[in-house]
Amino acid sequence: MEFSFYLGMIAAVITTVAFLPQVIKAHKTKKTGDLSLLMYVLFTIGVGLWAIYGAIIGSWPVLLSNIIIFALNLYILFLKIKHG
Amino acid sequence: MEFSFYLGMIAAVITTVAFLPQVIKAHKTKKTGDLSLLMYVLFTIGVGLWAIYGAIIGSWPVLLSNIIIFALNLYILFLKIKHG
């Protein structure tokens, strides 16, 4: 495997797990007032499209990482709508 | 151009502009208490690596979108560190 492959994999893992601390924080504190609703609406739609893009071009890293990011962002969005 | 190309471009634009509302909100309100510091540290590092990955594989959409996302996240991170 080439260096770029490993770099892409590391980048995919880091940008995926990055949303976990925000999920845990929002879930625990039930405070989402400082989060931007529009950011999470747009970002959830965007990563959903990235996942479809990954499926079409046959890229498992793009597909899998974006499915996980999509799910995490959907939950943050749910908490934001719930708690305001 | 293929359908997948346009889908990728639309996904890139949406996930890039998604951070603008959060930047504007945090900048205006000076309130970042509900944002996860760890999320923005990890995500900023991650998209920085995505930008390098884009440069290595010669993908302008990956490179450009991640440079912009990197800059926007770096500013949110700066506001988070400043305002707590």
Q: What is the CATH number of the domain that holds B61?
A: 1.20.1280.290
In a domain, A15, yes or no: no
Confidence (pLDDT) at B68: 97
pLDDT at A7: 93
Q: Buried (b) or exposed (e) across A7-35, using 16+ Cβ within 10 A?
A: bbeebbbbbbbbbebbbebbeeeeebebb
* A52/B7 CB distance under 8 A: yes
Q: Which residue range forms the structural domain that includes residue B81?
A: 33-84
Q: Note the pLDDT tens digit of each residue in B11-21.
A: 999 999 999 99
Residues A26-75: tens digit of each pLDDT: 999 999 999 999 999 999 999 999 999 989 988 888 899 999 999 999 99
Dihedral sign of CA atoms B33, B36, A26, B20 in order = positive
DSSP secondary structure code for residue A44 in this structure:
H
Pick the residue of B36, B41, B67, B69 with the most A CBs within 10 A to test the interface with A by mutation. B36
Mean pLDDT of all residues in B55-63 = 87
Residue B61 pLDDT greater than 90, yes or no: no
- pLDDT tens digits, residue range B68-83? 999 999 999 999 999 9
Please report whether residue B55 resides in a domain: yes
**Number of domains observed in the structure of chain B:** 1
CB spacing of A17 vs B42 below 8 angstroms: yes
Q: What is the pLDDT of residue B58?
A: 87
Contact B15, A70 (CB under 8 A): no
Q: What is the mean pLDDT of residues A11-30?
A: 97
Tokens 């920085």, located at residue: B48
Asked if residue B54 belongs to a domain, the reply is yes
Task: Specify if B23 maps to a domain.
Answer: no
Alpha-carbon span B41 to B36, nearest angstrom: 9
In a domain, B17, yes or no: no
Residue A9 falls inside a structural domain: no
Predicted complex ipTM: 0.92
pLDDT band at B5 (very low <50, low <70, confident <90, very high): confident
Residues of B with CB under 8 A from a CB of A: 3-4, 7-8, 10-11, 14-15, 17-22, 24-26, 29, 31-40, 42-43, 45-47, 49-50, 52-53, 56-57
